[in-house]
Structures are given as C-alpha cells and as structure tokens.
Amino acid sequence: NKFVALKNRIEGAPLESDLEIKETSLKRSPNEAQIIVKNLYVSIDPYQLNRMKSLCSSHSTTKNASQVKLGQVVAAHGVGRVVASGDERFKKGDLVVGHLGWEEYSVINTSTADGFLRKIGSSEFPPSYYLGILGISGLTAYTGFFNVCKPKKGDFVFVSAACGSVGNIVGQYAKLFGCYVVGCAGSNHKVDHLKDELRFDDAFNYKEETDLESSLKRYFPQGIDIYFDNVGGELLEAAVVNMNMFGRIVVCGVISEYTNKRRSAPNMLDVIYKRISIQGFLLVDYMHLFEEFMSFTCEQLRNNKIQAIEDISKGLESIPSAFVGLFNGSNVGKKLVQLE
C-alpha cells in the first residue's frame, strides 16, 4: 500500500521534497468496526500545510487541527470504494466519502470520530464532486456566503482566490442570488475563466496590479458590501479601505499568510467608522446545514445553474506537486488526485 508521508516539518512554502512516497503492507481482513477502502480520489487542500508546520499551537488555524506525524500517511478527504468490511453498516462495493488519506488504501476505524465516512447512495453525479462542489468546498462556500455574509440582492461582492475551489463556488452562488460579483485570481487565464465561463461580472489578475487599493476602487466605484476572504494579507487590507458602511467580511482563509510571516493589518479606524463586521469562519460550526446545502446545490447542478470546476492530476506520485501547486496558484478549481 503506497502512501504519501511528511518527511520534515515545513516552514514557509512547501517543496515537493518535504513529502515522500512510502510503502507498507496492507492488512487483508478488517476487524469488527473496521473497513478497508480503495481510494479513488483524494483531496488536496491548503489547510493541510498548517498541520505540517512545527508549532501547531502558535497558529490560530492549526489550534483546531491535529498535526501530521512525520513518516506517517497524510490524512485527507477522499472518495473510495469499500473492498472489505467488518462493520455491517458498510458493504463491499459501497462508495464512501470522508476522512481517508493520501494513500492507495485506507483502513478506517468506523467507530471513532476520525473514521467519519458517509455512503454515497446516488450515481447522479461523478464521485469526485463529493470532494468539491458537493463536499467540503461547496459547504464552505454555501454557509460562509449565505450564513455569515448574509447577502442582500444587489450587494457588491468581492471574492479572492476566486478561481480556486471555494472561491469559484462563492462567486457562482452570489451571482445566482442576484449580487454583483468581482473576483481576483493570479493569472489571466483564470480571469478569463471567471468572466467567460462562470459569468462573474468582472475579474482581475491581482499579480498585475501595483496598487490593490486603487484597483478595488476601480472595480467597485460604489464600494464593496461583502468581501469573501480566502487570502488575507494585502488583499484584506485593500478590501477594508473599500468597504461600504456596515460591510461584511468573512475570513474563510488567509492562504497568503500560510507561507509568509507577514500578518495582515487592516485599517481598524475604517472598521470602526464604517461599522464593518469581520467574522472568522470555520466550517465545523455549520455541519448541521449539510442536507440543506446538498439539496440546494444538487438542484442548481441539475438545472445547469452552477458548474463544478475540477483540476485532476493522476496517480499517487503526483500528490506532492499537486500540493505544492496550491501555493503558487497552479490549480484551476478543486484540486484532486485520481488514484485509479
């Protein structure tokens, strides 16, 4: 059973050489309350970097996460097929989604919280969707936008990392809801994709802008009502300056700070005088909205009102480069690795 392990703790941006492919023998028959899953797709996510750093407790985003152990498999969301089961709730052949790992096969203890797995009962959508638009990314976008940002029709919405997994879905929901949406991304190809394929009202390449504050003024002459922040840093600072009275900022992620020690320093006088709400967000607080999210999003997919953007690499060996690519913007949409 081949798997991807962490070779050393990571400071700054990850390198492919921080990870290694290892192999171990696979147990053939599961105990009671254990299942063996052949992994079909594994998710590649920015938060995993924070679990690979040395000082988990000093970083607010990692306080809630468990640290990846050196030399052991990196835990990850995945979709797989049950190949052997000691738990009567799962049968050989069942398709499941949940906590698996960057490995060919996962042996899961179904009785522990870590073994959280859900059966995928329907074949209406491709299995990979359950890691992106019908999974963590979609639920993050749905609850972060609708429940935290509390949008009103006609609101002016700004989304960063807008061609990424969460960002593209936020923009699509906001358009569906009747907002004016501008996204930023790190390449012209992504900008074209946002405008031409996803029908964002506008988009720009933040890497080509010299002064983000005035760029946002240009894209939002009437100001920003909602900023869905995936990035932190200078984009957050520039957004605060351009927020409208009673504007709402949801801090979903601060990826620019995962690889860089510079912390964002928004203008707090602006926050006070404009009564801006800045709310940190963690998906775990919104799991109870899963069914509502699924029924809404499946309906939009059925009616072609929303689309799944996936970026799929093949083979376990491609995981290190797929992961490193998240931090230099290589991915367009949900980054996955297909193992079969």
Q: What does the angle CA 114 – CA 286 – CA 280 come to, to the nearest 5 degrees?
A: 105
86 or 329: CB nearest ligand NDP: 329
CA distances (Å), 241 to each of 34, 156, 206, 209, in order?
53, 15, 16, 16
Residues in 57-116 at the binding interface with ligand NDP, rule: CB under 6 A: none
Grouping H, G, I as helix, E, B as strand and the rest as coil, residue 230 is coil
Choices 83-91, 98-106, 171-179, 185-193; region in contact with ligand NDP by CB under 6 A:
185-193
Chain positions 238 to 257 lying near ligand NDP, rule: CB under 6 A, are 252-253, 255-256
For 143, the token pair is: 């609850």
How many residues bind ligand NDP (CB under 6 A)? The answer is 30
Which of 51, 190, 193, 248 forms a contact with ligand NDP (CB under 6 A)? 190
Sole binder of ligand NDP in the list 135, 164, 247, 320 (CB under 6 A) = 164
What is each CA distance from 177 to 73, 92, 152, 172, in whole angstroms? 41, 41, 8, 9
- Among 119, 201, 213, 329, interactor with ligand NDP by CB under 6 A: 329
**198 binding ligand NDP? (CB under 6 A):** no
Angle at 6 between CA 133 and CA 71, to 5 degrees: 125
Which region, judged by CB under 6 A, interacts with ligand NDP, from 32-40, 42-50, 82-90, 98-106?
42-50
| Binding characters for ligand NDP, 140-159, by CB under 6 A (x = yes) | x-------------------
With binding defined as CB under 6 A, does residue 19 bind ligand NDP?
no
283 sits near ligand NDP (criterion: CB under 6 A): yes
Residue 203 near ligand NDP by CB under 6 A: no
Span interacting with ligand NDP, options 29-37, 99-107, 160-168, 299-307, rule CB under 6 A: 160-168
Only segment of 33-41, 67-75, 215-223, 323-331 that touches ligand NDP (CB under 6 A): 323-331
Strand partners, 105: 38
Which of 106, 256 has the CB closer to ligand NDP?
256
Of 108-116, 164-172, 194-202, 267-275: span binding ligand NDP (CB under 6 A): 164-172
Q: Which residue number, 30 or 78, has a Cβ lying nearer to ligand NDP?
A: 78
Cα 274 from Cα 164, distance rounded (Å): 29
Q: How far apart are CA 146 and CA 143, in angstroms?
A: 5
SS (H, E, C) 10-30: CCCCCCHHHEEEEECCCCCCC
CA distance 277 to 250: 8
Decide if residue 326 touches ligand NDP (CB under 6 A): yes
202: left (phi over 0), alpha (psi -120 to 50) or beta: beta
Interacting stretch for ligand NDP, rule CB under 6 A, among 69-77, 108-116, 214-222, 280-288?
A: 280-288
Nearer to ligand NDP by C-beta: 30 or 135?
A: 135
Binding residue for ligand NDP, selected from 230, 264, 297, 338, defined by CB under 6 A: 230
Q: Shortest distance, CB of residue 256 to ligand NDP, whole angstroms?
A: 4
Q: Is 70 helix (H, G, I), strand (E, B) or coil?
A: strand
Q: How far apart, in whole angstroms, are the C-alpha atoms of residue 167 and residue 109?
A: 33
Of 30 and 233, which CB lies nearer to ligand NDP in the complex structure?
Answer: 233
Phi, psi of 59 (to 5 degrees): -110, 125
Burial code (b: 16+ CB inside 10 Å, e: under 16) for 233-263 equals bbbbbbbbbbbbeebbbbbbbbbbbbbeeee
Residue 80 near residue 35 (C-beta atoms within 8 A) = no
What residue ranges bind ligand NDP (CB under 6 A)?
45-47, 136-137, 140, 161, 163-167, 185-187, 190, 230-231, 252-253, 255-256, 281-283, 326-327, 329, 331, 335
